[in-house]
Amino acid sequence: MKIALLLLLLPLAAQATPCPDWPASRAKSELAALSQQIAEWDDAYHNQGRSLVADEIYDQARERLQSWHQCFPTARPALPDPLAGSTGSIAHPVPQTGLRKLNDAAVAEWINNRSDLWIQPKVDGVAVTLVYRRGLLQQAISRGDGRLGQDWTARARQLPAIPTRLQEPLDAVLQGELYWRLDAHVQGRDGGAGARGKVAGLMARQALDKQQASAIGLFVWDWPDGPANMPERLQALQKLGFADSLHYTQPLQGAKDARRWRQRWFDEPQPFASDGVVLRQGTRPPGERWQTEAPHWAIAWKYPAGQALAVVQAVDFSIGRTGRITPILRLQPVDLDERRISRVAIGSLQTWEKLDIRPGDQVAIRLAGLTIPRLDQVIWRSPERAAVRAPDPNRYHALSCWRLSGECQQQFQARLNWLAGKQGLNLPGVGPGTWSTLMAGQKLEGLLDWLALDSEHLQQLPGIGPRRASQLQQAFAQAQQRSLQQWLQALGAPPGLKLGAEDDWATLLARGHAEWMQQPGMSQKSAERLVAFFSHPEVQRLGTQLQEAGTVGFQSQENSPRG
């Protein structure tokens, strides 16, 4: 629960990150900016009932702030209190404790050193204390700081999930979670679904309508002064009307059993969102001994984060074969679903310009399709805006960079990669590494200069011996046997070009816009692209080069073997 974060210890699984290399003045401004951002999130969540950022991102941001504070202890006197302004004045009869969050190895060790263990889902909602006297609801108290909370009694009486009268006329203090009811929610598929924020927002209102009130459920996770052992406690809760406590509290036989329940609740439909599991010992001290700190008898084992908070170290730009510029964020490595992520691409130069992401900014990353990292959102920006020089988009397009130069290296190599790949000439054993070696050895200036390289020239390059030189020569020879259609595709002709039986290189060069428009299925835009391609001086030069090299596809019809 976010409102318990002040009391939670940092996860043992949090990966160690190096201290930033900042002078004291920058450290002071960076910590101040992040502290202010977290304070704004806290105020919106606790005092306005609005969740401005995903809970797991909030947790990671607060951990990062604490890490920075340890790196620069004099930069800021104290960490911001997440509960500032939200504590309230109503005392909890029994303090609400926080929970330590442990990683897999620490959980196994914790289990192995204890007996009488039970597991529950860590329901993702807002914590509440319910006070009954002689079976009647007397008070509902928000968690606050665990010692003092706000009076939620009036709103609690509107919720059907909270009985105003128990089945038995007894005194009881119950601690539980108010959650947003979901239909067949699968945590592994659906994530948090914003459920916690919805409940927090409704509980911040003065009144709820019937539909809103019915959408809030209650999961009682403890009865501090109930029966001493867990089975009796669960049976008693069921008799009082809290059946979920019995259903969702399961005995554990060991670490393997705990993993099984954790995975099951992650994969199977549930009526609520959850962000992990809670492991408890059945017996624990009486409520009068509880304190607002993480106890020794219960821990949290959270699910893998669906998002990771990453520091942007640099902004690179990749220029593709067609001249498309793709910004790439170079990140301080983060772990996400057992993958280490150090780079993430942004869709377009326009998107990057709109987001204005600079080194030092913090971004949320998630996996698309469980494999491809993608930018989810910018979480906050560094107060120091580092300069980033982006390529000029007017310099690059589908007909630029046919020759190697400093500005053209990326697009030029992308053209070579396409040319040799499966979508082009499909040359065996020729790939990006091959072209990098040839360019580093200054053997390539134009796109087809490799056609003139013999074994002696190739063996002058690092890593290319007689055997490798022979393999490359054989592959290059195969290129000269490829058809005109394959070559045009490899050179990057506009998509949709289909050659007729009588089409040859000379025919294509002579064809004008009107003639292209006579081709079946040809659009105005496609015809314009084809005219631009075949009339471009570099394309024509490459065609002449291929003709002179004896490439089969570039011989005229009357000179071809079929003529």
Name all domains of the chain by residue range, CATH numbers in brackets.
Answer: 2-71 (1.10.287), 90-302 (3.30.470.30), 307-395 (2.40.50.140), 399-479 (1.10.150.20), 481-563 (1.10.150)
For residue 313, give the H/E element and its range. Answer: strand 307-319
Q: Do the bridges between strand 274-281 and strand 216-222 make them parallel or antiparallel, or are there none, so unpaired? A: unpaired
Report residue 196 as tokens: 């916690």
Report residue 557 as tokens: 């019809």
Count other Cβ atoms within 10 Å, centred on residue 274. 26
Give CA–CA dist 528/494, Å, rounded. Answer: 10
pLDDT category of residue 558 using cuts at 50, 70 and 90: low
Count other Cβ atoms within 10 Å, centred on residue 71. 15
One-letter amino acid for residue 116 of the chain: D
Annotated catalytic sites, by residue?
A: 122
Beta-strand runs (E) in 134-203: 136-142, 148-149, 172-180
Please tell me the pTM assigned to this model: 0.74
Report whether pLDDT(225) > 80: yes
Q: Would you state the torsion angle of the CA atoms of residues 274, 276, 281, 284, taken in this order, to the nearest 10 degrees?
A: -60
Query: In whole angstroms, how far apart are CA 101 and each of 122, 266, 282, 461?
Result: 11, 17, 19, 55
pLDDT digits (tens, 9 = 90+) for 339-352: 899 999 998 999 99
67 vs 193, more confident: 67
Residues 504-524 have a mean pLDDT of 92
Report residue 544 as tokens: 């002449």
Count other Cβ atoms within 10 Å, centred on residue 164. 13
Which residue is it, tokens 């049976």? Answer: 235
The angle formed by the CA atoms of residues 495, 497 and 499, to the nearest 5 degrees, is 155
Residues 128-157 have a mean pLDDT of 93
Count other Cβ atoms within 10 Å, centred on residue 352. 22
pLDDT digits (tens, 9 = 90+) for 101-112: 898 999 999 999
Please enumerate in sequence order all residues whose Cβ is within 8 A of that of 412, keeping only pairs 6 or more positions apart, or say none: 401, 402, 403, 404, 405, 447
Residues 267-281 have a mean pLDDT of 95
Average the pLDDT over each of 79-83, 117-121, 299-303, 474-478 and give the range with the smallest value: 79-83
Report whether pLDDT(84) > 90: no
Residue 332 DSSP label: E
Residues 278-301 have a mean pLDDT of 93
The angle formed by the CA atoms of residues 105, 108 and 112, to the nearest 5 degrees, is 140
**How many CA atoms lie within 13 Å of 468's alpha carbon, on the beta-carbon side?**
14
**How many CA atoms lie within 13 Å of 559's alpha carbon, on the beta-carbon side?**
11
Please enumerate in sequence order all residues whose Cβ is within 8 A of that of 228, keeping only pairs 6 or more positions apart, or say none: 283
Percentage of the chain modeled with pLDDT above 90:
68
pLDDT at 220: 97
Which residue is it, tokens 């209650």? Answer: 218
